[in-house]
Amino acid sequence: MRLLARPTDTNSSGDIFGGWIMSQVDLAGSVVASRRANGRVVTVAVNSFHFKKPVFVGDLISCYARIEKVGNTSINVLVEVFAERNLGNECIKVTEATLTYVAVDQQRQPRPVDS
């Protein structure tokens, strides 16, 4: 997933809000998890979240997600976030997170991942 950090996403210091990055991480992780679950998933835990470097307006953000573990109803996903800045001359890892998603049925009850 790639997107551009915009001025509307900043805090009073001019840095991108951590919550905005968290939202993008959750979106990227849920895409991978829902594909593996072959259906709807819900976020049940943010197991770790590390902000390594700030994100600035104009940075091109790339979120890379991969499955770390699959349980009966749950899927653990690692998401790494990189920022391209200075017109692509610099690319740095800015965030890393692990999240847990649970596959759910139409009644929003947990269901086996392979169903």
78/67 Cα distance (integer angstroms): 6
* pLDDT attached to residue 64: 98
105/95 Cα distance (integer angstroms): 31
pLDDT digits (tens, 9 = 90+) for 82-113: 999 987 789 999 999 999 999 999 999 999 99
Specify whether the CB–CB gap between 9 and 86 falls below 8 A. Answer: no
Domains contained in the chain, CATH given: 2-103 (3.10.129.10)
- Look-up: residue for tokens 């390594």? 52
Say how many residues make up the chain: 115
pLDDT digits (tens, 9 = 90+) for 6-59: 999 998 888 899 999 999 999 999 999 999 999 999 999 999 999 999 999 999
Q: Buried (b) or exposed (e) across 27-41, using 16+ Cβ within 10 A?
A: ebbbebbbebbeebb
